[in-house]
Structure 1
């Protein structure tokens, strides 16, 4: 049975429903997007001569990002944490060598005792009604030296114009936070983290991925071509302006103050 796209499903409930009804499709979509996200992690590690022994991903879902980190041998040991039991079971079954833990990082009882060199939070904060609470909980529950945090930027000029015409909370991705690089970095620093590096890029989807995600989300033909234009062609033709005006991803490397 496919995911019911008609109700607005946001935040944690969005992924809870996805993992219960479209686990394999969602895993494939996340796998396709993981490479560029892990590029952010790898570039930060190399630029700052970091060689983590232990890498932990919070909100890892089915493990696309941390599995790609493992494939590239970015650390010696790996742990993925997610509140969804379905996602954690999938990670355990498909990625041997990664410790998979089910838990809610914002639960006061949740704690990871073993210190971590790098904590990854990749495309999680935009799904949370209280992202600051998550970031504070991360610092309470884990001991770490560096954190890599990445979000999509969806409050740029073109997005704000579209928001006047259509309620953007009705998005199929389940986002409830819409960031600019300024608002995202302000959130990070307000939670007691110090930004030491940043990366801004616009993802470009290949046409096979466009076809896959259009089928996955049940898009009509005109929306398929709109996605092809806005996610494949225009980002390549207009890259410098695209990242400023329409859409980008923004990653930061942080340390605790």
Structure 2
């Protein structure tokens, strides 16, 4: 590795970082010059902080900074998701994890399918009937207009409502796919327990917010109002608490991964009788 360092320092500078591939930066550290180009806005904000620290408490300033960090992060994520193109390494890792475990799975229900991106991919790799469920009618209509395939269906229903009204359909499927759904549910233990009665397998993905965010502990100590990663979340889970929830609800964890700010689990039901 040491022999690479001179070339890295010669070739990886400033604007050239934008041309780096995801594969490259995954395996090779990025080198920087000792003296960095000054960022005017960042420098001005830091100077303002240093000046304010003479009159205001560090605790008060930290509270303001955490609130600013929350809204700026949300803006950055929204712009990133809507504007930036190219490879998505997080999505690739997610699909690698699923492919490693899905070989014995038949039909799938994707609860909280949004516009159907994961649903269509699951249908493609399993070759079996796949159903997408979401409570947002606009997203369901988008999915229906984009994807018109045999053995691929989309329904606009609340997840718990669907479970109560369509138990016959539930019994015909092997995998329930829950990607960023559990943290939005008011009573996740009830839902996960009921799902363990019908499905042989589950895929569960939630934000790894409390463990991967270095500022989460500071927010806990300050009693911050913004101790969540999304306005619609009813729960935020640590790696220990999400594991505990799954086990308590009748799911045995077969495989798990923590990457890119998310926790993902492949589970097998301990309750399903058939």
TM-score, normalising length: structure 2: 0.57
After superposing on structure 2, the runs of 4+ consecutive aligned residues of structure 1 that deviate more than 6 Å are none
Say which of 139, 150, 153 aligns to 1:87. 139
Question: What's the counterpart of residue 17 of structure 1?
Answer: none
Structure with bigger strand share is 1
Contact 1:132 1:187 in 2 (8 A): yes
Q: Within 2, Cα distance between the matches of 1:85 and 1:36?
A: 29
Whole-Å separation in 1 of the counterparts to 2:230 and 2:269: 34
1:144 matched to 2:231: no
State whether structure 2 residue 255 is matched by structure 1 residue 197.
Answer: yes
Query: How much does 1:65 deviate?
Result: 1.6
Alignment partner of 1:161 is 2:218: yes
- Give a deviation string over 1:125-149, Cα, whole Å, max 9, x none: 1122321122134345xx3221111
Q: Is the contact made by 1:105 and 1:138 (CA closer than 8 Å) also made in structure 2? A: no
- CA contact 1:117–1:145 (8 Å) conserved in 2: yes
Distance change in 2, residues 1:63/1:135 (3 Å): same
1:66 is matched with: 119
Query: Any residues of structure 2 matched to 1:1-257 within 5 Å, and which?
Result: 34-45=91-102, 50-71=103-124, 73-97=125-149, 98-107=152-161, 109-114=164-169, 115-139=172-196, 143-156=198-211, 158=214, 159-165=216-222, 166-169=224-227, 171-172=229-230, 174-201=232-259, 203=260, 248-257=261-270
CA distance in 2, matches of 1:138, 1:92: 25
Deviation at 1:70, TM superposition (A): 3.4
The answer on whether the counterparts of 1:126 and 1:177 sit within 8 Å (CA) in structure 2 is yes
- Work out the CA distance in 1 between the residues paired with 2:98 and 2:231: 23
- 2-side partners of 1:253 and 1:187: how far apart? 14
**Within 1, Cα distance between the matches of 2:229 and 2:267?**
29
Higher relative contact order (CA 8 A, sep 6+): 1
By how many angstroms is 1:174 displaced? 2.7
Alpha-carbon distance change, 116 to 183 in structure 1, aligned in 2, over 3 angstroms? same
Residues 196 and 251 in structure 2, CA contact (< 8 A), matched pair in contact too: no
Report if aligned partners of 1:104, 1:110 keep a CA contact under 8 Å in 2: no
CA contact (8 A) 1:91 1:100 kept: yes
What 5-or-longer segments of structure 2 have no aligned partner?
1-77
Over residues 62-88 of structure 1, what are the superposed CA-to-partner deviations in whole Å (9 max), with x where a residue is unaligned? 2122223335x2342211111222222
Q: How many residues align?
A: 182
Q: How far apart in 2 are the matches of 1:182 and 1:170?
A: 17
User: How far is 1:172 from its partner?
Assistant: 4.4
TM-score between both structures, scaled by the size of structure 1: 0.60
Structure 1 unaligned segments of length 5 or more: list them. 1-21, 204-247
Deviation at 1:39, TM superposition (A): 3.0
> Partner of 1:129: helix, strand, or coil?
coil
Alpha-carbon distance in 1 for matches of 2:228, 2:179:
22
Q: Secondary structure at the match of 1:176?
A: coil
2:256–2:263 CA contact under 8 A, matched in 1: yes
